[in-house]
Structure 1
Amino acid sequence: MTEFAEGRPCWAVATFPDVEAGKRFYSDVLGWSWGEPASEYGGYTEARSDGKAVAAVTPPMPGEEVNAAWCLYLATPDAAASAAKAKDAGGELVLEPMRVGPFGTMALVKEPGGAGFGLWQADQHHGFEKQAEDGAYGWAEFFTRDPKATDSFLTSVFPYRGQKMADEHVDFAVFSVGDPGEPVVGRMRMGEEFPAEVPAYVNVYFVVPDCDAAVKTAQGAGAALRFGPMTSPFGRFAALSDPQGANFTVIDVSTKEGAMPELNDL
């Protein structure tokens, strides 16, 4: 199993009021197949690509009313210690560290800007068995209206090196782990193009072989196109909301255009 360095995205779970509809949609768009629902964990079901675990879906807890959304989990060797750091750094602990059978320990956190994410301390379940390939997780970004608070939080909780894009028109930062440093997650400031009622969130990217074809399939299955498709130095991508309202992005990493941006340390 792949070991994930502290702070690296290691898993993604979508909560859907209608799990079966969510499964049908992502099967169509990303080509996923599905494992058996785990009744002891509320119907939690793993998604697979080429037979490898790439994500999971789950219904809300009984009696809980939540909007459909993706939750990104960041790896930690000690969920309790990371949760304590998160609180000390101004975050909100939504769910205290909780053991999940033999699989690991989870916690749910909101950073000061309001974007929610998970912490995962692995035991039997380490996370993505496939990533950065077609049908799998590729990247994620914190969307926030308070970039300074979010940047400070992320570098306080995780062993990140933070760097900001040298572009006066875009407030975007990248966080890396290790030496010389591998980018693992981004941060984007939410500007006036985001309606006030849209909360901060973590946007998850999934890799597809053809961005435009994936968008066409997604729209045909009821998704809303929010941005793109456009081609960047990182790939051709488009931001979508699935039929139940969960935001995500598809990216074709084989189609690139332009020079990589210059980054300066935060």
Structure 2
Amino acid sequence: MAVQPEGTPCWADAMFTDVEGAKSFYGAVLGWTFGEASTEFGNYTQAYADGKAVAAVVPPMPGQDGPSQWCLYFASPDAATTAGRIRDNGGEVLMEPMRVGDLGTMCLGRDPGGVVFGVWQAGEHEGFEAAPEQPGAFCWAEVFTREAEKSDAFFPAVFPAYTAQQMEDDGVDFRLFNIRETAVLGRMRMTEEFPPEIPAYINVYFTVADCDEAVAKATELGGVLRFGPMDTPFGRFAALSDPQGAHFSVLDTTTTEGEMPKLTDV
């Protein structure tokens, strides 16, 4: 798969204290298989769906112990330039651009509302290999934040190709970020329904052939159902947490219901 346009979600990984437990869980729920751990890069282990790279899991480095969470990476032609934009627009660079062998260059940032994300300047590793509609593949992501205005200003400033559309719904504050005519990222304002201890985060979605089956398997293995399953015009989805607390969602794009929401350019 070719290098994606700047600002396109291109990779996802998560840090787990119990890597073998994570591999067992996601293998059962999403059908992933796993490659050999790369000792050169902290036992970073890639996950595959039908032989195509879709994500990675890794144990925490010394001193990095904390709650497990998925990190979404956005494509950049120059990680150092993107890091500068993160700083210039009120964000924080948590990890300076770092070369990862011949694979590429990464950095980690945080938006002014607390959303942590990654930046990936591709080398030999260009990112996701599987198409979004393939079961087990990454297919969508949404920024969940209580400070929507900050994210709304920040992400288009960091990724200048973004244009934005607001969903016309008085009950939900939801925005789409597009590159050209393609939606690449959503932004949802967190309401009082979210417990205050849940920080702002990016929720990643993985494609499944059957949402209900995936939910049943996840909860059977110790995952927690947070929301759904629910039918939408985009597919049937559910929000989950894995046994180690990392939030993610599953989406069956073949099961759709209802009309697409109206969107207004902003």
TM-score range, shorter chain: over 0.9
User: What secondary structure is seen at the aligned counterpart in 2 of 1:219?
Assistant: helix
Written as runs of structure 1 = structure 2, the 5 A alignment for 1:65-80 is 65-80=65-80
Written as runs of structure 1 = structure 2, the 5 A alignment for 1:119-138 is 119-132=119-132, 133-138=134-139
TM value normalised by structure 2? 0.98
- Aligned equivalents of 1:144 and 1:215: distance in 2? 25
Give CA deviations for 1:228-255 in whole Å, capped at 9, x if unaligned: 0000000000000000000000000000
User: What secondary structure is seen at the aligned counterpart in 2 of 1:12?
Assistant: strand
Amino acid at match of 2:139: G
What displacement does 1:3 show?
A: 1.8
In the TM superposition, structure 1's runs of 4+ consecutive aligned residues that sit over 4 Å from their partners are none
Give CA deviations for 1:184-213 in whole Å, capped at 9, x if unaligned: 010000000001111000000000000000
* Other-structure match for 1:139: 140
- Say whether residues 1:11 and 2:2 are aligned partners: no
* Other-structure match for 2:238: 238
Number of residue pairs the alignment of both structures matches: 264
- Aligned equivalents of 1:131 and 1:110: distance in 2? 27
User: What secondary structure is seen at the aligned counterpart in 1 of 2:237?
Assistant: strand
- Aligned equivalents of 1:120 and 1:20: distance in 2? 26
* Other-structure match for 2:259: 259
5+ residue gaps, structure 2: none
User: What secondary structure is seen at the aligned counterpart in 2 of 1:6?
Assistant: coil
User: What secondary structure is seen at the aligned counterpart in 2 of 1:251?
Assistant: strand
What displacement does 1:63 show?
A: 2.7
- Aligned equivalents of 2:73 and 2:177: distance in 1? 15
Give CA deviations for 1:31-53 in whole Å, capped at 9, x if unaligned: 00010000011110000011110
What displacement does 1:62 show?
A: 1.6
CA RMSD of aligned residues (A): 0.7
What displacement does 1:131 show?
A: 2.9
- Aligned equivalents of 2:64 and 2:208: distance in 1? 33
Partners of 1:135 and 1:207 within 8 A in 2: yes
TM value normalised by structure 1? 0.98
Written as runs of structure 1 = structure 2, the 5 A alignment for 1:112-191 is 112-132=112-132, 133-158=134-159, 159-178=161-180, 181-191=181-191
What displacement does 1:27 show?
A: 0.3
User: What secondary structure is seen at the aligned counterpart in 2 of 1:4?
Assistant: coil
Partners of 1:15 and 1:68 within 8 A in 2: yes
Give CA deviations for 1:141-191 in whole Å, capped at 9, x if unaligned: 00000111101001111110011101111000000002xx10001000000
- Aligned equivalents of 1:84 and 1:11: distance in 2? 21
What displacement does 1:64 show?
A: 1.9
- Aligned equivalents of 1:74 and 1:243: distance in 2? 26
User: What secondary structure is seen at the aligned counterpart in 2 of 1:124?
Assistant: coil
- Aligned equivalents of 1:111 and 1:105: distance in 2? 20
Give CA deviations for 1:16-74 in whole Å, capped at 9, x if unaligned: 01101000000000000010000011110000011110100001112321211100000
